[in-house]
Chain A
């Protein structure tokens, strides 16, 4: 167990907690649902993945225990968290939550009219 591996583990844990903190700040500071959802689904995913990777490396290299559940957890979070963000954001748009007033363009706005015209 060399010091450099301990440094990498510590860096991963601190980076993961920092990214989770960034998520919390984003949830407080950002103006509307969509930007908040952007902050929550992106940086929280990477933060949790960093922490899980650090935990895995700690138990693998320090204790000699290969925990495959952590690898599975990393893959699972990586697959599902963006999909959850996508579904939440689509559900809010379809239930008519308006965008931030300084938003420039909304390409989905005329979708219903376009479909009625072309169907």
Chain B
């Protein structure tokens, strides 16, 4: 029997944007509210898994030509680099710094180096989850 997934695919195209926006919000809310790199990364990979469910692996890798193993390496490099960057200023490893800046559009914003570390966590979580799922999905 022929099947078509038009309902699933149409809803997925709308809903995956909502999930990714929510995951970005969770990622940036992590300093003051519940959230952070881990849950944000998990939710982003959840949106990607939803795309994988509605379409096939070939289509998704054409839309998002990302090598997820490379993403793990970049994330680890960001996390280690934030820690090692503290050594340049003659303070212990992983010492973080923050300050308030007046950005042109956003106004007074506090920028913290922990965000860079969190970005590393975010990328590693996405990379690990998607690598696991794609590796299991491809093997017959």
Contacts and interface: CB of A to CB of B under 8 A. Distances in A.
A83 B8 contact: yes
Nearest to B1: A112
A115 B2 CA distance: 8
A100 interface: no
Contacts of A117: none
Interface residues of A, number: 13
Interface stretch (A42-50, A58-66, A72-80): A72-80
The interface residues of chain B, by DSSP majority, are classed as helix
Contacts of A87: 7-8
A86 B7 CA distance: 9
B32 to A, nearest CB: 14
Contact of A79 (B1, B2, B15): B15
Interface residues of B, number: 10
Contact of A83 (B1, B11, B18): B11
A102 interface: no
A14 to B, nearest CB: 28
A94 B1 contact: yes
A72 B2 contact: no
A71 to B, nearest CB: 11
A103 B18 CA distance: 39
A75 B8 CA distance: 17
B22 interface: yes
Nearest to B18: A76
A116 to B, nearest CB: 10
Interface in A84-116: 86-87, 94, 111-112, 115
A76 B16 CA distance: 11
Contacts of B1: 94, 111-112, 115
Contacts of A111: 1
17 contacts: A69-B22, A72-B18, A75-B18, A76-B15, A76-B18, A79-B11, A79-B14, A80-B11, A80-B15, A83-B11, A86-B7, A87-B7, A87-B8, A94-B1, A94-B3, A111-B1, A115-B1
Given A76-B15, A94-B3, A115-B2, 9 more contacts: A69-B22, A72-B18, A72-B22, A75-B18, A80-B11, A80-B15, A83-B7, A111-B1, A112-B1
